[in-house]
Amino acid sequence: MARTVFPDDLLLTQVRVIRTYAALARPCGGHITDLRHQLIADLRDLYAHPYWAEPGRSHADLVELRRTARARAWVEAA
């Protein structure tokens, strides 16, 4: 399967979603509400992105976006 090229802003939004989910999974001291608000805003931006309105976009593209973002988040964290 050919790799899909995603817009940078879409990819960065997915990376933020992944990091926010990870932060919510860790015990933290009181920033849960802020993290949830950030997650909601990022998910809204992710799913409302114009990329998804282009013809031929499918669930497979969303899965590929998540894989690409996880790889990028992993590399940036190292």
Task: List the structure tokens of 22.
Answer: 């990870």
pLDDT digits (tens, 9 = 90+) for 55-68: 999 999 999 999 99
3-state class (DSSP) for residue 55: coil
What is the per-residue pLDDT for 72? 86
What is the per-residue pLDDT for 26? 86
Residue position matching structure tokens 């960065």: 12
Question: Would you give the DSSP letter of residue 50?
Answer: G
Q: Chain-centre distance of CA 42, in angstroms?
A: 8
